[in-house]
Amino acid sequence: MVEDEAELARRTIASLARAGITAEWLASAEDAAGFAGDGFNALIVDLGLPGMGGLELVRLLRRRGVATPILILTARGSWEEKVEGLNAGADDFLVKPVRAEELIARLHALARRVAGHVVARLEEGQLALDTETGEAWLADAPVELTKNEFRLLRAFLLEPGRTLSREAILDRLYALETERDPNTVEVLIGRLRRKIGHARVATMRGFGYRLMP
């Protein structure tokens, strides 16, 4: 999230965390320019930033080939600014103030679109997950997941067939400034295996873990 209003950023990131979304906050476009392409599912960009504006940031990232979905979140709500933002390369546009539920729904939609999904329900073999309700099923039987188990399974389902390293998993579970223990990944993988079946999460030695169909 690139936003110069610290209190707004803090409240928004707290709301995202309650919905199981890990977010980072940067206060300027200059800071974001060198950071925003590093494996994020989506970027939230304010237009009225100090120094380099949000619109210039969007154009810069697109010129660099950064394909990460960008959602503009701004107090500027005219149709001209919306058109300009979308033409600059943004994928969505929301006007402040906005309910956290709508922002979260838009972010989920952007992540699903990139992964090739058009509905909230992600499926792989007998596994299914609803990204909006947090419900999960194995062979149509409900599976109770903790918040981090849900985040881990969602990461696997959004990137089917991809091997996720420990570092990639930690990035999807915790904000960067959070103290991290790599051993928690093995513990979490073990807990998820007990709930969905050991063979469904393969260890790719030296590389990480992969969800199997």
Residue-wise pLDDT for 147-178, tens only, equals 889 989 988 988 778 899 888 888 778 766 56
* pLDDT at 118 exceeding the cut of 70: no
Task: Give the count of beta carbons closer than 10 Å to the beta carbon of residue 104.
Answer: 19
Given a cut of 70, whether residue 195 has pLDDT beyond it is yes
CA distances from residue 155 to 20, 89, 98, 130 in whole angstroms, order as listed? 11, 25, 26, 13
Range list of H helices, the chain: 6-18, 29-33, 54-63, 79-88, 100-114, 147-158, 166-173, 183-196
**What is the Cα–Cα distance from 170 to 167, expressed in whole angstroms?**
5
Query: pLDDT at position 36, please?
Result: 63
The whole-number pLDDT of residue 37 equals 58
pLDDT score recorded for residue 57: 93
- What is the rounded distance in angstroms from the CA atom of residue 29 to the CA atom of residue 82? 19
pLDDT of residue 119: 58
Average pLDDT score, the chain = 87
Confidence of residue 203 (pLDDT cuts 50, 70, 90): very high
**What phi-psi label fits residue 42: left (phi over 0), alpha (psi between -120 and 50 degrees) or beta?**
beta
Q: By the 8 A CB rule, do 45 and 90 touch?
A: yes
136: three-class secondary structure by DSSP:
strand
- Residue 87: partners with Cβ closer than 8 Å, 6 or more residues away: none
pTM reported for the whole predicted model: 0.62
Is 41's pLDDT higher than 90? no
d(C-alpha 89, C-alpha 43), whole Å = 12
Confidence of residue 193 (pLDDT cuts 50, 70, 90): very high
Please give the pLDDT value at position 52. 92
- List domains and CATH numbers for the chain: 6-114 (3.40.50.2300), 121-211 (1.10.10.10)
Q: Does residue 115 register a pLDDT over 70?
A: no
Residue 117 has pLDDT above 60, yes or no: no
Least confident interval from 85-89, 109-113, 165-169, 209-213: 109-113
172 and 152 in contact (C-beta within 8 Å)?
yes
